[in-house]
């Protein structure tokens, strides 16, 4: 409501030699001392809405509807006193009867009426002045209240943001209207007053003007001078906006701005209550008050404390005085109708602070508006998990989500981005980067408060790798994205392989670091390779070197080194003829438990190729007795004798001697220094023989005598390493590679398998 100075006090001020401008200035200093007898609310009203007139110095006929004081609207009020006729007038085009409906009730000091359709707004919704006159509903139909009536304005009421400010504090208010009230207006004037707005700008009192800026046809900003003060709890000013600052500049629109001594920690909250309000003041409003009382009411604060908790009034049970300028309490449930019903009729309540809790005796100290609404809920997040790197879209289901862009949310304490409310029951957002963890809480915050959904989401440590494919013939640098790399304990570049510390492992399937066999020291599903020499670029990105030409052994503490090639079976074992093949099939079988993971990637060798084409490899081991080969078998056989060899490093032409360890080469520089200790396979050279003592690149010494007659033929120099077999793997981060770390390390973290962590190893 806005307040006007009582007529008697204006007369006293004028008699004392004060002008009305001086009275207005006095109001700025102590508006409560000059509090008005008459209030009009709202200051600007639309056709068909209700206007409430309160005059504490008169008595209206009370009742409901037909028994209440009758109201007429003067559409062209004059200035000759009295403006209102002495008795109920005959209605006409300029004297219009106001409609009184259910809810427009008169009391002895208040009349509420509905604005008739004849009282139209000005062009583009400009505020247009009318006067309401009241008359007794029966008997003499005599005039009631002020003989000059009660002015009010019909037009577009602007929305103010904020609607109130702290006493003695400069501020800026944004006005937004539903119609283009500022169309054609190039300059604006503004003044604040506890009186009804003057029809023209006039000469405002010092300290009452604001600086307006037109920002559009329907919007403007207006400064609030620090000279607007309140010595009471809450003083309401009319913000009067004009089409200039000349004395004759006419009124455009009116807003309602309150100046308060209190500051709320939360200006809006749920009508269900349960939230805490922390209230402060620049003044010591609680000085001398040990046990303050607080009421929350949908109406104006009563002058005295009321101990009755009724519809529209809720009592605060436990007010905590923190200091003379600060207090706090838990908001009770607020209702404006039936119990536990949302307050749809009255969203703005008042927090009323009293000097005690004596019913009907404790005085009002201060008050401030408090907006209530329905608290939203959040019921589900879909999907319920995603990568710790963030960037995943989620949809949150719930109720009462506002669509005005004010909703914010956090997941695991980190802010969601890209929040977009799809409807009152759903919004979408993008997840933040977060350390891996399960059952993270979601908090959704709106003007109504904050709602917490526990066990809402899990951040999985999935990685993103680039590139995600490479040949098994070389080392490739891989960029890995994830979370928490800066706190990881990667081994220094160039150090020996070790299990402790953090690692990027290439794993077939899901890494299992627990002991596969009791006391074996072998992990259940160890890595096939490690991406080493890690360089952390930032907490979410690192680069490492992945050598696919060298495969890790079963323990993962060293590289797999090929032993002496031997026929029929595992590397370095005596010859056993147990292999069976089926023509056109890529499956081979062994009658003994022969195959292990170490055989994957090895080449099948037959002295005389019969059952398998040269270069055929084992690509997968299904079980100790079943393996898959890279090309179909050429024949069906049983008891096949074969060897499993490392890949060929290169082919050379050599000359063997008869039962000699000497090995020659017809071409210059056939042998390299790096060939020393390589196994060689070829005519007249038995399996398991190495090159030794390379001289001048033309001759070498075999580790054992060759057999057969001397000859010149092609021979294969085998790789000294076993490469990672071709196939699909997963890049996996583990915070601790030690055996059984997942159960012994309380801070253990392992990334999950995802489409972004897949890495393909090829032979090209």
Lowest mean pLDDT among 1-15, 185-199, 517-531, 567-581: 1-15
Same structural domain, 285 and 320: yes
- Is the residue at 654 inside a domain? yes
Question: Looking at the structure, do residues 550 and 618 belong to the same domain, yes or no?
Answer: no
User: What CATH number did the domain enclosing 433 receive?
Assistant: 2.60.40.10
Lowest-confidence pick of 100-109, 178-187, 679-688: 100-109
Looking at the predicted structure, is the pLDDT value of residue 518 above 70? no
Determine the average pLDDT of the residues in 414-436.
92
- Cα distances (angstroms) measured from residue 153 to each of 105, 117, 240: 20, 13, 12
Same domain membership, residue 369 and residue 389 = no
pTM of the prediction?
0.49
Q: Domain of 109: which CATH number?
A: 2.60.40
In a domain, 142, yes or no: yes
Q: What is the mean pLDDT of residues 43-53?
A: 89
* Residue 627 confidence (pLDDT) above 50: yes
Indicate the number of domains in the chain: 6
Residues 411 and 469 occupy one common structural domain: no
Look at residues 355, 373, 391 and tell me which one is the last residue of a structural domain: 373
Q: Are residues 496 and 554 in the same domain?
A: yes
Residue 28 domain-assigned? Answer: no
Assigned domain for 171 exists: no
List strands edge to edge, sheet with 437-446.
Answer: 385-387, 449-460, 437-446, 408-411, 414-415
Q: Is residue 119 part of a domain?
A: yes
Q: 369 and 381: one domain?
A: no
CA 486 → CA 391, 475, 483, 733, distances in Å? Answer: 20, 24, 8, 13
3-state DSSP assignment of residue 29: helix
Q: What is the pLDDT of residues 660-692, one digit of tens each?
A: 888 888 888 888 888 888 888 888 887 788 888
Task: Evaluate whether residue 635 is within a structural domain.
Answer: yes
Q: Are residues 698 and 735 in the same domain?
A: no
Residues 629, 685 share a domain: no
Inside any domain, residue 511 = yes
pLDDT in tens, 141-158: 889 899 999 999 999 999
Domain match, 387 and 489 both: no
What is the CB-side half-sphere exposure of residue 700 using CA atoms within 13 A? 32
- 202 lies in some domain: no
| Region 380-399 average pLDDT | 90
Assess whether 64 and 144 both reside in one domain. yes
Report d(CA 278, CA 291) in Å as an integer: 16
Lowest pLDDT segment from 198-212, 485-499, 604-618: 604-618
d(CA 271, CA 374): 6
Residue with the bigger pLDDT between 284 and 687: it is 284
Is the domain of 389 the same as that of 368?
Answer: no
Residue that terminates a domain, selected from 645, 673, 701: 645
Q: CATH number, domain at 681?
A: 2.40.30
The pLDDT tens digits of the residues spanning 551-561 come to 998 788 888 87
Closest listed residue to residue 656, CA positions, set 607, 718, 712 = 712
Q: Which residues contact 467 (CB under 8 A, 6 or more apart)?
A: 476, 478
The reported pLDDT for the residue numbered 401 is 92
Contacts of 509 (CB under 8 A, 6+ apart): 525, 730, 753
Regarding whether 389 and 363 lie in a shared domain, the answer is no
CA-to-CA separations, 267 to 349, 372, 408, 409, 449, in angstroms, rounded: 11, 9, 16, 19, 10
Last residue of a domain, one of 595, 622, 645: 645
**pLDDT at 617 exceeding the cut of 90:** no
| Domain ranges, residue 555 | 464-560+724-750+756-760
């Amino acid at each position: 409501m806005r307040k006007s100075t009582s007529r008697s006090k204006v007369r006293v001020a004028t008699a004392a030699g004060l002008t009305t401008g001086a009275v207005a200035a006095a109001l700025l200093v102590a508006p409560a001392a000059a509090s008005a007898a008459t209030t009009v609310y709202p200051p600007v009203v639309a056709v068909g809405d209700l206007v409430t007139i309160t005059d504490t110095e008169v008595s209206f006929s009370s009742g409901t509807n037909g028994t209440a004081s009758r109201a007429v609207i003067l559409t062209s009020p004059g200035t000759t006193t009295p403006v209102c006729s002495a008795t109920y007038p005959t209605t006409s085009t300029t004297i219009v009867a106001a409609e009184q409906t259910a809810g427009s009730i008169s009391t002895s000091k208040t009349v509420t009426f509905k604005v008739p359709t004849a009282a139209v707004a000005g062009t583009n919704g400009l505020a247009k002045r009318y006067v309401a006159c009241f008359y007794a509903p029966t008997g003499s139909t005599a005039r009631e209240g002020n003989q000059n009536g009660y002015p009010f304005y019909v037009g577009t009421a602007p929305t103010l943001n904020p609607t109130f400010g702290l006493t003695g504090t400069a501020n800026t208010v944004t006005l937004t209207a539903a119609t283009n009230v500022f169309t054609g207006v190039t300059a604006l004037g503004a003044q604040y007053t506890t009186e009804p707005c003057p029809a023209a700008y006039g000469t405002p009192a010092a300290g009452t003007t604001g600086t307006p800026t037109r920002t559009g046809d329907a919007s403007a900003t207006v400064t609030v001078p620090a000279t607007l003060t309140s010595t009471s709890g809450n003083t309401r000013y009319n913000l009067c906006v004009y089409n200039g600052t000349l004395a004759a500049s006419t009124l455009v629109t009116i807003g309602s701005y309150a100046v308060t001594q209190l500051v709320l920690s939360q200006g809006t909250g749920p009508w269900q209550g349960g939230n805490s309000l922390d209230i402060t003041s620049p003044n010591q409003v609680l000085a001398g008050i040990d046990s303050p009382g607080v009421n929350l009411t949908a109406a104006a604060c009563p002058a005295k404390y009321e101990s009755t908790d009724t519809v529209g009034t809720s009592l605060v049970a436990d007010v905590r005085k923190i200091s003379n300028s600060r207090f706090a309490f838990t908001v009770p449930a607020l209702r404006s109708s039936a119990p536990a019903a949302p307050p749809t009729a009255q969203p703005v309540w008042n927090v009323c602070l009293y000097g005690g809790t004596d019913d009907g005796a404790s005085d009002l100290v201060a008050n401030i508006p408090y907006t209530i609404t329905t608290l939203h809920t959040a019921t589900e997040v879909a999907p319920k998990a995603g990568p710790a790197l963030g960037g995943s879209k989620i949809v949150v289901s719930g109720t009462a989500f506002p669509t005005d862009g004010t909703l914010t949310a956090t997941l695991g304490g980190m802010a969601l981005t890209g929040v977009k409310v799809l409807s009152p029951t759903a919004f979408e957002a993008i997840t933040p980067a977060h350390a891996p963890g399960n059952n993270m809480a979601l908090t959704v915050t709106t003007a109504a408060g904050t709602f917490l959904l526990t066990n809402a989401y899990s951040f999985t440590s999935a990685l993103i790798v680039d590139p995600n494919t490479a040949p098994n013939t070389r080392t490739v640098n891989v960029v890995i994205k994830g979370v928490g790399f800066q706190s990881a304990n990667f081994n220094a570049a160039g150090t020996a392989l070790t299990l402790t510390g953090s690692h990027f492992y290439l794993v077939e399937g899901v890494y299992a670091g627990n002991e596969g066999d009791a006391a074996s020291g072998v992990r259940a599903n160890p890595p096939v390779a490690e991406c080493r020499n890690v360089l952390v670029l930032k907490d979410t990105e690192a680069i490492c070197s992945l050598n696919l030409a060298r495969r890790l052994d079963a323990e993962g503490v060293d590289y797999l080194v090929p032993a002496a090639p031997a026929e029929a079976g595992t590397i370095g074992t005596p010859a056993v003829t147990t292999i069976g093949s089926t023509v056109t099939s890529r499956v081979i079988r062994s009658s003994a438990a022969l195959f292990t993971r170490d055989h994957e990637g090895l080449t099948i060798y037959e002295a005389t190729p019969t059952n398998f084409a040269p270069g055929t490899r084992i690509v997968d081991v299904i079980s100790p007795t079943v393996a898959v080969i890279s090309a179909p078998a050429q024949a069906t056989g049983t008891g096949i004798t074969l060897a499993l060899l490392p890949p060929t490093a290169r082919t050379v032409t050599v000359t063997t001697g008869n039962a000699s360890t000497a090995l020659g080469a017809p071409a210059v520089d056939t042998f390299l220094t790096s060939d020393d200790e390589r196994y060689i396979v070829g005519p007249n050279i038995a399996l398991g023989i190495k090159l030794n003592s390379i001289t001048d690149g033309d001759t070498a010494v075999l580790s054992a005598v060759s057999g057969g007659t001397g000859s010149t033929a092609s021979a294969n120099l085998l790789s000294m390493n076993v490469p990672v077999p071709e196939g699909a793997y997963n890049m996996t981060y583990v915070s601790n590679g030690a055996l059984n770390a997942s159960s012994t390390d309380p801070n253990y973290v392992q990334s999950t398998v995802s489409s972004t962590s897949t890495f393909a190893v090829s032979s090209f």
